[in-house]
Chains A and B, each alone.
Chain A
Amino acid sequence: MHALEGGFANAPIDAAHAFRAVMNVTARPGVIEAVQGATPPAPLSIAAGVVVLTLCDPETPIFLTPRYDTPAVRDWIAFHTGAPICAPADAAFALGEWDQMPVGEFPLGTSEYPDRSTTLIVELPELSTDGATLRGPGIEHTATLSLPEIETFQSNAQHFPRGLDFLFTCADRLAGLPRTTKVS
């Protein structure tokens, strides 16, 4: 497949649907939604591709973990979003597998501008509602999600209102974990 293919067929409509899915999973941590419309190059999942097409542009630098930093991925991101590839400290987004993410190096935002932090798009081999217990805004009592670990997310929530936000992707499915969620 050509690196310049695999974008949204109908960008305004596809991006609107995808944005709604991203918003829903962020507003309701633990909920998993299916998305479609992107055919990104390997190793990106469909869901990760959809998120990149929907949220990234020339003003959102992306950090790629080594396995994801391939010429095909770079060309695809450059053509479809124009987002520059960057070091962790400059990242608006980070994309890759969990154990390769330099979590401590991403910006957490400032007290004045907590939005100036990184959103991590974490590719998981499995994504289900079996796993860690989640509490907080958007969750009535508790929810569960197959997080790759617990401690990092616990300490991340302590920086509030600063902190990282997470989107978990697996095949065509998507879940979210904002900095407001308490994990146990």
Chain B
Amino acid sequence: MYVAVKGGERAIDNAHAWLAEERRGDSAVAELSVPQIREQLALAVNRVMAEGSLYDPDLAALAIKQSRGDLIEAIFLIRAYRTTLPRLGASLPVETEQMSCDRRVSATFKDAPGGQILGPTFDYTHRLLDFKLAADGEVPQAAQTTGREEQTPHIMSFLDREDLIQVEGEGADVPDDLTRAPMELPASRALRLQALTRGDEGFILGMAYSTQRGHARNHAFVAELRIGAVPVEMDIPELGFAIEIGEVTLTECETVNQFKGSKTEPPQFTRGYGLVFGMTERKAISMALVDRALRWAELGEDNVGAPAQDEEFVLYHCDNIQATGFLEHIKLPHYVDFQSELELIRKLRREATALQQVAE
């Protein structure tokens, strides 16, 4: 018998009120402000912007506050907000060559023009807890020297000049957009890169790590990793020309992989590419490795059956909002579904018992 039930409204209201109180925590402790989160938890803000797929540090900080620091919940809030915005248009592709680099390192060329700029990095720290931070403390001033005025060229452009690196192909004028049309496989590279840049950092990291451990034979060098601000230009229909509509901080990672050549391609280096909103270095490197692994078909390599080469597996499982939505829904009431399962299992047991008795 199907019995529709409703109720729980009072319980839900009270649960949400308690949530608000728990979110605030002990009122004897000062409340966190949104600007404090934006300025002092900037890397969490960056992750929420990257995976929420919306560059707006204030909104990301608000989402982190609202979600009590649950970043996937915060990303969910940003994705939901994003859908309410009218799409004013699309930018011209950002020119990362114009980046004002806060950080720029190469693992392949020591003396690259522009140099190795470490920036505000965790690298070379000892990973020892700093108890000075537990107390209020003065921050020492960062050192300054004469800054670079000219653009910093991409390291890949040097390999490109010698014809040692695979040439990047042209794509559609209007790239596929998975926020507008359902993803169709096989996916264009544009669609793969979009899915990866907004994909879950942990998932992409795990996939990238699997290629390093031997699943897909992906031995990558980081030719260049750069982080900094890039202007965003858009054509304005009512003006008839493009203007800069803002500036975003991006992390870009270009990897080179050895490539023995194929029937159509000479031996040369191939590229993996990562580009992510904010200072999101681990994610950008991971993205570049997974991008490279997914390119086996267009580069004429063998599919060795590695998970990171499986486009369907990677692209359909990298989105943490889709994943968590499906995963978490199983905790919500399934009373009727389960009732039918229960009846089925009882029936099967009765039949099995009856058969056993006949056999005896």
Nearest-neighbour CB distance to chain B for A61, whole angstroms, equals 10
SS class of chain A's interface: helix, strand, loop or mixed? loop
CB pairs A–B below 8 angstroms (9 shown): A4-B238, A57-B86, A58-B88, A58-B89, A58-B237, A59-B87, A75-B238, A79-B238, A82-B237
Interface size band for A: under 10
Nearest-neighbour CB distance to chain A for B222, whole angstroms, equals 36
B159-185 vs A, Cβ < 8 Å mask (1 yes, 0 no): 000000000000000000000100000
Residues of B within 8 A of A58 (CB): 87-90, 237
Nearest-neighbour CB distance to chain A for B175, whole angstroms, equals 13
Residues of A within 8 A of B237 (CB): 58, 78-79, 82, 84
Residues of A within 8 A of B88 (CB): 58, 82
Inter-chain CA distance A98–B87, complex, in Å, is 31
8 Å CB interface, B53-75 against A: none
A69-102 vs B, Cβ < 8 Å mask (1 yes, 0 no): 0000001001100101000000000000000000
Inter-chain CA distance A58–B87, complex, in Å, is 7
Residues of B within 8 A of A75 (CB): 238
**Which A residue's beta carbon lies closest to that of B180?**
A59
Instruction: State which of A57, A59, A78, A84 has its C-beta within 8 Å of the C-beta of B238.
Output: A78
8 Å CB interface, A33-86 against B: 57-59, 75, 78-79, 82, 84
Residues of A within 8 A of B89 (CB): 58, 82
B72-90 vs A, Cβ < 8 Å mask (1 yes, 0 no): 0000000000000011111
Inter-chain CA distance A75–B90, complex, in Å, is 19
**Which A residue's beta carbon lies closest to that of B89?**
A58
Given known contacts A57-B87, A75-B238, A79-B238, what 8 new A-B pairs fall within 8 Å (CB)?
A4-B238, A57-B86, A58-B87, A58-B237, A59-B180, A78-B237, A79-B237, A82-B88
